[in-house]
């Protein structure tokens, strides 16, 4: 698994792991680091980004009828024909249903894994547009450009959803999971990561005591705050959800112009 060394020698492990969901005949034991079962009806925008064998590799969010948003490290070095998207399901499976191919990958041109995963965002144009029923398939609500609220500035209640491992070295989840998290202020995010985060690119989510948060396979998935997606799972210190290090997310509000521009150009 790739790793990057951040400021003051902080070692960061990339969350991306290719974990086959097809090999588990029985439901996996445990949760996405102390999450609970969720249903797609509550999060109709969430998707599973799959590799060439249909195995789950990353999360993502539907943002329009043609586009999914995920992390750049989930698409880096991969071709459209190596990926597919499963959508509108609570339980993911290599056999489907609701699987669509990928037409185009639009990775941020300034993505830099050697600078603590700066600009860790990518768009995926699907081969066949989504049909929204607003029950199990619908777009996520995005924040305004450079969105901030007093609550978020001071830290607020957020939520992570995904199918990632329940612990470092744990089991992949086939049922969608949800976990409540604290969204940290920029100052506390930087302090806990010893200066390795940058408020232009990053936002943090976790719990002070550790034990809840993202793990391998959650990469590219959404961090929600007041119903809006404010973060994309990017990286974390290992083992997963270890205190005092909250997970680090790509700050969606910094990229609203980039998202809109690329959707218009490539639609």
Give dist(CA 163, CA 90) in Å, integer: 10
Q: What is the largest CA-CA distance in the chain?
A: 48
- Three-class SS state of 67: strand
Give dist(CA 49, CA 223) in Å, integer: 16
Q: Token pair of 51, please?
A: 């590799």
Q: For the range 196-200, what are the long-range contacts, defined as Cβ-Cβ under 8 Å and sequence gap of 24 or more?
A: 196/6, 196/7, 196/8, 196/10, 196/12, 196/116, 197/116, 197/248, 198/116, 198/118, 199/251, 200/118, 200/251, 200/254
Q: Could you give the residue numbers annotated as active site?
A: 73, 120, 219
């Amino acid at each position: 698994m790739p790793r990057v060394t951040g400021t003051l020698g902080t070692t960061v492990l990339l969350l991306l792991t290719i974990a086959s969901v097809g090999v588990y005949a029985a439901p996996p034991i445990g949760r996405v680091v102390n999450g609970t079962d969720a249903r797609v009806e509550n999060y109709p925008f969430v998707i599973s980004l799959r590799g060439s064998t249909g195995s789950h590799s990353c999360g993502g969010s539907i943002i329009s009828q043609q586009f999914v948003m995920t992390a750049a490290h989930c698409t880096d070095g991969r071709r459209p024909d190596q990926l597919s998207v499963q959508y509108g399901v609570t339980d993911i499976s290599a056999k489907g249903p609701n699987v669509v191919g990928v037409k185009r990958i639009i990775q941020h041109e300034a993505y830099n894994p050697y600078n603590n995963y700066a600009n860790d965002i990518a768009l995926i144009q699907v081969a066949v547009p989504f049909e929204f029923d607003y029950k199990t398939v619908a777009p996520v609500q995005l924040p305004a450009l450079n969105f901030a609220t007093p609550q978020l500035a001071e830290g607020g209640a957020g939520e992570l959803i995904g199918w990632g491992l329940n612990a470092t070295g744990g089991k992949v989840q086939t049922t969608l999971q949800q976990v409540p998290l604290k969204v940290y202020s920029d100052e506390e995010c930087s302090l806990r990561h010893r200066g390795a985060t940058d408020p232009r690119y990053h936002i943090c989510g976790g719990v002070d005591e550790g034990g809840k948060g993202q793990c391998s396979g959650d990469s590219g998935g959404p961090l929600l705050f007041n119903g809006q997606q404010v973060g994309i799972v990017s990286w974390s210190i290992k083992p997963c959800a270890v205190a005092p290090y909250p997970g680090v997310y790509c700050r969606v509000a910094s990229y609203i112009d980039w998202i809109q521009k690329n959707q218009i150009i490539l639609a």
